[in-house]
Chains A and B, each alone.
Chain A
């Protein structure tokens, strides 16, 4: 089965840039989506199809995907960005949806 690998935690200073990676075999050939989840809340889509943003998501959130790594970039980090972030793909070979293990972003 297809596996997505994320770092368990990432820290960023306020106003600086955070990068959260998502590794997978030839992930560059897939569409990667990113979700933000805060404690006690449902996940929220923040980036889809590698680099597109849903309406209402700040331009500070951006994404890229190439080779074996997809990256979510959060510019000018704010306290309100503290959350768990998950990457997600659809594995066409198994018709299964796959999430990465999640990355806890700390703004300090």
Chain B
């Protein structure tokens, strides 16, 4: 059974940093591109970024809203993906999900999400 478990969410002040983790099991993590997606209260799903596998040089991509502030990384030896969030803003408050990209460009498995609250 595929499992994705996020952790590391919490309350942080504007301008602060936070690092989320996504522990994966039940599939070949090292070969899977991994993404982060967020859901802010009253808003829709927003793609936060992607990291490819070692075979694709761990290439990353980010939308303009987080580029330069957020960094995705992975440790294939630990079957874990990470989302480092710096210079956090109140508008980054959301539930953050990690998700596995299936063959093609769809998201086939999701974690339960972790809440990040940016507030003073």
Contacts and interface: CB of A to CB of B under 8 A. Distances in A.
Interface in A52-108: 54, 84, 86, 88-90, 95-102
Given A42-B112, A43-B107, A89-B105, 12 more contacts: A35-B107, A42-B110, A45-B106, A48-B104, A48-B106, A49-B106, A54-B108, A84-B44, A86-B45, A96-B63, A98-B47, A101-B44
A89 B106 CA distance: 8
Interface of A: 1, 31, 33, 35, 37, 42-45, 48-49, 54, 84, 86, 88-90, 95-102
Interface of B: 35, 37, 39, 44-47, 50, 61, 63-64, 97, 104-108, 110-113
17 contacts: A1-B63, A33-B105, A37-B45, A43-B97, A45-B106, A45-B108, A48-B104, A49-B104, A86-B44, A86-B45, A88-B107, A90-B105, A96-B61, A99-B46, A99-B47, A100-B44, A101-B44
A88 B113 CA distance: 19
Nearest to A95: B61
A99 B45 contact: yes
